[in-house]
Amino acid sequence: MGGIAVLSDMVTVDVKKGLGLEPLVMVNKLADYARWLYRSIEALKTQPRAVSIVDNSSGYTLNDLSYQLSQIQQY
């Protein structure tokens, strides 16, 4: 069984941490995370070895994630 060489350090973001209790603050911070994640995925898509990455829990590819986030950004 083969594997993919890791291109960079793994990044995890806890979106619940530090959001506060104000709904507007929560929405703004979640929007910031969504934009950051979208840019990160778009950067990964430019790397040939990263295109085959699939999320284990959802089964989404980078293209699937990029599409899902682009739909979220429309609203």
List pLDDT tens digits, range 17-44: 665 666 666 677 777 888 888 888 888 8
Give the three-class secondary structure for 22.
coil
Exposure string over 53-64, b if 16+ CB within 10 A, otherwise e: beeeeeeeebee
pTM: 0.57
* Whether the Cβ atoms of residue 53 and residue 64 lie closer than 8 Å to each other: no
pLDDT at residue 67, rounded to an integer: 87
